[in-house]
Structure 1
């Protein structure tokens, strides 16, 4: 499981501990099977614990709660995620500046002819 997916799973479960795996799959845009794999992975790593409870309609449901280790892991993953996004932003900014310069140069050449 990638850092991005770990981040998104932990973020969603922290915000919506009573979400079903179907809800989580829809929010993440991945299959229900992949979601089950992801949830099991964060549980196996000790980052999330599962608590059973009964909803008002008497269906068995679960609450996914981040453990202290899960909160620490989410903080580390968030820092790496943020740095990766900053790096991507800087690379895009440089590419936009280069393309802008090329376009301006091309326009100046076209004006001369």
Structure 2
């Protein structure tokens, strides 16, 4: 079983890979905002993805500032994104089923009166 920290890290990698797949020319600031992490966190994730060979850097062709980069998924990155997407979806479906079961149980308690607050003696 994976740790919660590993799941959060994989979720962040998933979100960044997904965002880059949609638009490789997003800035780190835009990625951070869309992924819900800090700019420093996105920088760290991008360096890790580049280091693993999942993302490569390319020049952002339309930018006046040639220091801007495009973050392009490699074939290995596309395969990894598909693998992470599958695990992410499985985990979210399990969470959904658990939450639905808890909601159903609470609704049942309320319907039967078991979830009502105890009456205070006068």
Aligned length: 108
After TM superposition, the runs of 4+ consecutive aligned structure 1 residues lying more than 4 A away are: none
1:22 to 11, 19, 29: 29
- Maintained 8 Å contact 2:59/2:66: no
- Maintained 8 Å contact 2:25/2:60: no
Deviation at 1:54, TM superposition (A): 4.5
Provide the TM-score with structure 2 as the length reference: 0.81
2:69 to 38, 45, 62: 62
Change (3 A) 1:86 1:42: same
Asked if 1:80 corresponds to 2:87, the answer is: yes
Structure 1: which 5+ residue stretches go unaligned? none
Correspondences of 1:31-70 after superposition (within 5 Å): 31-70=38-77
CA distance in 1, matches of 2:30, 2:24: 11
CA distance in 2, matches of 1:13, 1:53: 13
Change (3 A) 1:67 1:95: same
Range that drifts further, 30-39 or 71-80: 30-39
Provide the TM-score with structure 1 as the length reference: 0.87
Question: Larger relative contact order (C-alpha < 8 A, sep ≥ 6)?
Answer: 1
